Amino acid sequence: AKDYELRQYEMAKWVSTVIRGETQKEAMRQGFWKLFHYIQGKNEKEMKIDMTVPVTCLIKSGCTDFKVSFFVPFEHQDSPPQPTDSDVFIEERKAAAIFVRSFGGFASPEKYAEEAEVLARILRNRGQPFHEDFFYTAGYDSPFKLFNRHNEVWYFKK
């Protein structure tokens, strides 16, 4: 569809951390740095790992816990080094069909929420069943990239 796409994602490992009781913006900042330290060598192998995109954030309705995640690069999918920070963990996300809405510019928590609501409304209007109690934000750009930025919101298909 012109206003969203349906993607099939394969099972994959992500390195994640959960930040509790902060604003979404602050949780993203804290989570990013915890994960950045992991890829810079704060792991059992003291191995540097390439930064990947997207950086995702799990948003649950009425919840102030935010799970921030980096995709584990393909060459480390089989055996990612274990984090040495007890707040950082490797998670395996199951294969899933995901509804995706893309947008440009600098994404704020308010902009992500607005785009998620637009996507949810479109999916409801088209009778597409999806998990409405949570969505993911996905950012693809460094904070230093000024133009042609790419952001997404994801709802999982039921």
Domain boundaries of the chain, sorted by first residue = 5-156
Place of tokens 């409405």: 132
Q: Which CATH architecture has domain 5-156?
A: Alpha-Beta Barrel (3.20)
Exposed e or buried b per residue across 62-73, where buried means at least 16 C-beta atoms within 10 angstroms of its C-beta: eeeebbbbbbbe
Q: How far apart are CA 71 and CA 56, in angstroms?
A: 8
pLDDT band at 77 (very low <50, low <70, confident <90, very high): very high
pLDDT band at 47 (very low <50, low <70, confident <90, very high): very high
Please say if the pLDDT value at position 1 is more than 90. no
For the segment 54-80, the average pLDDT, to the nearest whole number, is 96
What pLDDT is recorded for position 143? Answer: 82
